[in-house]
Structure 1
Amino acid sequence: MRNLDITTLRSFMAVADNGGVTRAAGFLHLTQSAVSMQLKRLEELLGQQLLDRSGRTIALTGSGEQLLAYARRIVKLNDEAIGRLTDQVYEGEIVLGVPHDIVYPSIPQVLQRFHAAYPRVRVQLISSYTRNLKEQFSKGKIDLILTTESTSTEDSETLAERPLCWIGAPNGSAWRQRPLPLAYCLHCAFRPKVVAELDKMDIAWDLVVETESDRTVEATVAADLAIQTMIEGTEPPHLAQIDHGGSLPELPVQMVNLYGAEVTGSHIVAEMSGFLRQAFSTVSTPLAAPHWHAA
């Protein structure tokens, strides 16, 4: 009887989730060679090739996809059993604050992985704009916050630097109109910078939507009635980056900053911070929709 090893399955899952051995090794705090050796032993044990290494990036084979589903169930049951039968069970609650515009696609993945590791810890997610999150954090109402800011700060840790980009409907034409129709949330910190850049290029603009609702902005942009700006890689699938060919100004880089990682000394807060670092470390990897050439 051959037996699957939990540690090896964790490495296999990390490679699948992170798109390669290098990032998986960093996430697991192992060397690349150690992770590669574990994967090799797993393939030899099963007599199956689990990873397709023929391309520039590593992908799962059909057998790898099947094993991944089993691996998630096996590891989850292992962690649940260990958690319930030992004293190392962490309970409690973390309040996590994240700006609306960077919740997707990373935060659902973070919540899922954290829950698998700490099933008895409740995570309360608060989604708001950066200024409000910082105010709530300063009052001790939120344990950890992410922010989108133009600079790093002394009391925060910068997890990623990503440029703002112009966002519109796929194959849309609203970006060609003058005045340029814009849609923004009322408290969006990006808007003053965007307007300043448009004014520098003498591009007339019109704020056709100003609302408290992100959904209203998205619906307007998806209908090709206006455009907006978002941090690169955070646009939802029904919107797309605009390939304007220089017709619109280049936009500044934004920092994704983490506050609270070193404040409480709590183990579960430190662990959540680690999950957030890993999720936002893929700076150069597209996270969502591809570029579209707007017609």
Structure 2
Amino acid sequence: MRNLDITTLRSFVAVADNGGVTRAAGFLHLTQSAVSMQLKRLEELLGQQLLDRSGRTIALTASGEQLLAYARRMVKLNDEVIGRLTDQVYEGEIVLGVPHDIVYPAIPQVLQRFNAAYPRVKVQLISSYTRQLKDQFSKGEIDLILTTESSSDGDSEVLAKRPLRWIGAPNGSAWRQRPLPLAFCRFCTFRPKVVAELDEMDIAWDLVVETESDRTVEATVAADLAIHTMIEGMEPPHLVQIDHGGVLPDLPVQMINLYGAEVTGSHIVGELSGYLRQAFSTVSTPLTASQWHAA
């Protein structure tokens, strides 16, 4: 009697879902060689070639496709049994990546609610730029990421669509100056779009601050030395949307995308994804000052 091993089946499912050994190894927190060895052992046990390695990317053979449905069910059933009998299934760590400019107001609320429901699961929050987060996600270094992008591909789920807004100091006048003083982070994906819109309206502009620190941008804008752009509803309480009356161009809609919700097949990652979906579908106004400091 030959017996299938759940560990090898889990690796097989991870490779199928992630499209390759490298990302699967990252999500499983194993070495590439360990995953490759498990796949080889599984193929030898069944006497079938499960993966087509002839192309640039790994694909499933007909036998692999047939096994995948069974493997998913067996892994899920295994996890359900372990969870019911030991109550240890919801322990571990999830690495969540979020762009700097959409951490508030939603993410602190998500982390608080998730921790109350799953106190034994540690969520490691990484705040960076969309480009960097996607690169880390592709390497399997992050389980789940949010991005701010102008479009969505087949690998992502759109959680929200919101316009960019011009942001300035309360009662500020920097937006009336010409050249228009701008403050942006060095790797901000919004900047090229903003500059293109200004050029289209023939508005002279000057990048007075270019930094890697969001706090530096916020301080400059709060001092009314420059203006900035943020996704609607994500601005901090010490900054406001500028009511420019059409003097400045309208800015494009941005998408808040979620990557990784369906990739790992992990129930607990799916639960965190659910909290993120709910949070970004309901966020419409920024935090008050008291809520901001509490968060």
The TM-score with structure 1 as length reference comes to 0.68
Are the aligned partners of 1:99 and 1:130 in contact in 2 as well (CA < 8 Å)? yes
Are the aligned partners of 2:168 and 2:227 in contact in 1 as well (CA < 8 Å)? yes
- In structure 1, how many angstroms separate the alpha carbons of the residues matched to 2:183 and 2:128? 18
Aligned twin of 1:230: 230
Aligned twin of 1:287: 286
- In structure 2, how many angstroms separate the alpha carbons of the residues matched to 1:86 and 1:263? 26
- In structure 2, how many angstroms separate the alpha carbons of the residues matched to 1:218 and 1:177? 18
Query: Does 1:250 find its partner at 2:250?
Result: yes
Are the aligned partners of 1:167 and 1:240 in contact in 2 as well (CA < 8 Å)? yes
Give the deviation of 1:185 after TM superposition.
0.1
- Report SS of the residue matched to 1:93: strand
- In structure 2, how many angstroms separate the alpha carbons of the residues matched to 1:289 and 1:139? 37
Q: Give the RMSD, CA atoms, in angstroms.
A: 1.7
Which amino acid counterpart does residue 120 of structure 1 have in structure 2? R
- Report SS of the residue matched to 1:281: helix
Aligned twin of 2:174: 174
Give the deviation of 1:288 after TM superposition.
3.8
Are the aligned partners of 1:240 and 1:289 in contact in 2 as well (CA < 8 Å)? no
Give the deviation of 1:101 after TM superposition.
0.2
Aligned twin of 2:210: 210
Aligned twin of 2:266: 266
Are the aligned partners of 1:233 and 1:289 in contact in 2 as well (CA < 8 Å)? no
Larger Rg: 2
Are the aligned partners of 2:237 and 2:286 in contact in 1 as well (CA < 8 Å)? no
Which amino acid counterpart does residue 122 of structure 2 have in structure 1? R
Give the deviation of 1:88 after TM superposition.
5.7
Aligned twin of 1:92: 92
Aligned twin of 2:47: none
- In structure 2, how many angstroms separate the alpha carbons of the residues matched to 1:136 and 1:268? 20
- Report SS of the residue matched to 2:282: coil
| Unmatched segments (≥5 aa) in structure 2 | 1-82, 290-295
Shift in alpha-carbon separation, 1:186–1:163, aligned structure 2, 3 A: same
- In structure 2, how many angstroms separate the alpha carbons of the residues matched to 1:183 and 1:286? 23
Aligned twin of 1:150: 150
Which amino acid counterpart does residue 242 of structure 2 have in structure 1? I
Aligned twin of 2:79: none
Which amino acid counterpart does residue 135 of structure 2 have in structure 1? E
The TM-score with structure 2 as length reference comes to 0.68
Q: Deviations over 1:190-247 (max 9, x none)?
A: 0000000000101000000000010000000000000000000000000000000000
Identity %: 84
- In structure 1, how many angstroms separate the alpha carbons of the residues matched to 2:88 and 2:138? 31
- In structure 1, how many angstroms separate the alpha carbons of the residues matched to 2:127 and 2:164? 20
Are the aligned partners of 2:148 and 2:257 in contact in 1 as well (CA < 8 Å)? yes
- Report SS of the residue matched to 1:145: strand
Query: Does 1:131 find its partner at 2:92?
Result: no
Where do 1:25-174 residues align within 5 Å?
87=87, 90-174=90-174
- In structure 2, how many angstroms separate the alpha carbons of the residues matched to 1:89 and 1:149? 34
Give the deviation of 1:153 after TM superposition.
1.1
- Report SS of the residue matched to 1:175: helix
Give the deviation of 1:287 after TM superposition.
3.1
- In structure 2, how many angstroms separate the alpha carbons of the residues matched to 1:225 and 1:192? 21
Give the deviation of 1:129 after TM superposition.
0.4
Q: Deviations over 1:75-119 (max 9, x none)?
A: xxxxxxxx9x97265100000000000000000000000000000
Shift in alpha-carbon separation, 1:289–1:247, aligned structure 2, 3 A: farther
Aligned twin of 1:19: none
Which amino acid counterpart does residue 125 of structure 1 have in structure 2? L
- Report SS of the residue matched to 2:244: coil
- In structure 2, how many angstroms separate the alpha carbons of the residues matched to 1:163 and 1:180? 20
- Report SS of the residue matched to 2:265: coil
Which amino acid counterpart does residue 96 of structure 2 have in structure 1? L
